[in-house]
Chain A
Amino acid sequence: MLRVLALAAVVLLGIAPEPSQAISIYTGWERHALVGSDIRLSCSFFSWRFVSDDVSFTWIYRPDGSRETVSIAHYAGGEAYTDNKGRFKDRVEFVGNPKRRDGSILIKNLDFSDNGTFTCDAKNPPDIVGRPSSVRLLVFENLPIQAGVITGAIIGVVLGLLVLIVVIYYLMRFLVARRVFSLSVSKHGKKKKEGSQQRQLWTPPPLTCYPLP
């Protein structure tokens, strides 16, 4: 009996919730943009605690094909610091609202050399254990049409037209029938009798009986 109790206690302690929770950071997966345009990279986090005054956001950039990373934006202690030396000089602006768990940045005047991975790391003391999330930026000259958009549009329009035509057809038939009914009752009565005679269901074939030889 005591052993069973001990075992139960161990099991219960094993599945008890931990006192400290991790912070979850969310950014997009991939962003497409045109050359020369601006883009807003969003970053938000989920934490079980309220937003503390020491909340911090850090944005790190890694160009395509390179393994080196460089920080381009940082928010800490109520102040936002952006790149004033590197390739994003005067092009990055912190537009997030940290009190609302939003640490987004705005990058202006994009160029092909801005292709790369942007990583957002957010910390909400004492919740500092979290995995930074990355968003990939792709800069195009012309934005390509996504696969399946036109296909779905054509199929949707045609099927929608079909449904519309069928609905209109049955509606017209219904309205015409109503008008006939309202004009002359006797004529409609005769028509109704003839119509019910025609609509016979399939009758089974007659039972054939042949005498045995």
Chain B
Amino acid sequence: MNVFFPDYCFFFMPPSRSVSKMLLILLGVLVFHLVVLILLIVSTASSTWTVDATGHTDLWYNCHSDPNGYKCLQASSEDWIQAVQALMILSVVFCFTSLIAFLYQLFRLVKGGHFYFTSIFQILASVFVMCGAIIYTVMRPDSDKDYGYAYVLAWVAFPLSLISGLCYLILRKKD
């Protein structure tokens, strides 16, 4: 019989309510953050902010299908489109940085501390998405074309990221 490591000993915390609830909250917050990040990435990368019968435009390409074929041109390089591009990219960068900061602060934060760093970056990301979506809404020239799914995702990602950032503000590290 092994004296150092008996057979009936195992590495397991005694199941208590607070620990499982803590883990559940942690997992939920992390999944929520990942969902927000994915929404932001899809909204930024897919060039479908405006759609019409033949194709889609903005932010990066204007693609149309003629009888001749499917053609893609680069999106117009006006200053407001470039500003929207920059704001969307910045929001993705800040959301990703806040994820890294959350994972870092999870292991290094003192007991009872708040996730300030994470929440600030997440709230900044939501502000950037809001600014980008507002600029796009106001400056769009074609008022008869429909909005594409990337535009909708941007508006959906804004309140979700704001909620996520506020969650981190009230979350406290227990152990």
**A residues near B93, Cβ cutoff 8 Å:** 155, 159
**A151 & B82 in contact (Cβ 8 Å cutoff):** yes
Q: Closest residue to A198 on the B side, CB-wise?
A: B110
B10 touches A208 (CB 8 A): yes
* A12 on the B face (CB < 8 A): no
A149 B82 Cβ-Cβ under 8 A: yes
Q: Which listed residue (B7, B13, B78) contacts A205, Cβ 8 A?
A: B13
Known: A202-B107, A205-B11, A210-B8. A158 touches B74 (CB 8 A): no
Min CB distance A193 to B, Å, is 15
A89-148 residues at the B interface, CB under 8 angstroms: 144-148
Query: Which of chain A's residues have a CB closer than 8 A to the CB of B85?
Result: 151
Nearest A residue to B76, CB-CB: A147
Interface residues on B, range: 20 to 34
Do A150 and B79 form a contact, CB below 8 Å, given A205-B13, A207-B11, A208-B10?
yes
Q: Mark B6-35, 1 if CB is under 8 A from A, else 0.
A: 111111111000000000000000000000
Provide the bound-state CA to CA distance between A207 and B86, in Å.
Answer: 52
Is the pair A207, B82 in contact by a Cβ cutoff of 8 Å? Answer: no
A22-B11 Cα distance, complex, nearest whole Å: 76
Distance, CA A150 to CA B79, complexed state (A): 7
Residue of B nearest to A207 (CB): B9
User: Is B77 a contact partner of A155 (Cβ separation < 8 A)?
Assistant: no
- Name the B residues within 8 Å of A199 (CB-CB): 110
Q: How far is the CB of A194 from chain B (nearest CB, A)?
A: 11
Q: Which residues of B contact A154 (CB under 8 A)?
A: 82-83, 86-87, 90
A209 proximal to B (CB < 8 A): yes
Bound form: Cα–Cα A77–B152 in Å: 68
Q: Which A residues touch B90, using CB under 8 A?
A: 154-155, 158-159
A155: chain B residues within 8 A (beta carbon): 86, 89-90, 93
The residues of A with any CB-CB pair to B shorter than 8 Å are 144-155, 158-159, 198-200, 202, 204-212
Beyond the given A150-B86, A151-B82, A208-B9, please list 17 additional residue pairs across the A-B interface where CB-CB is below 8 A: A145-B77, A145-B78, A149-B82, A150-B79, A151-B85, A151-B89, A154-B87, A155-B90, A155-B93, A159-B90, A206-B13, A208-B14, A209-B6, A209-B8, A209-B9, A210-B8, A212-B7
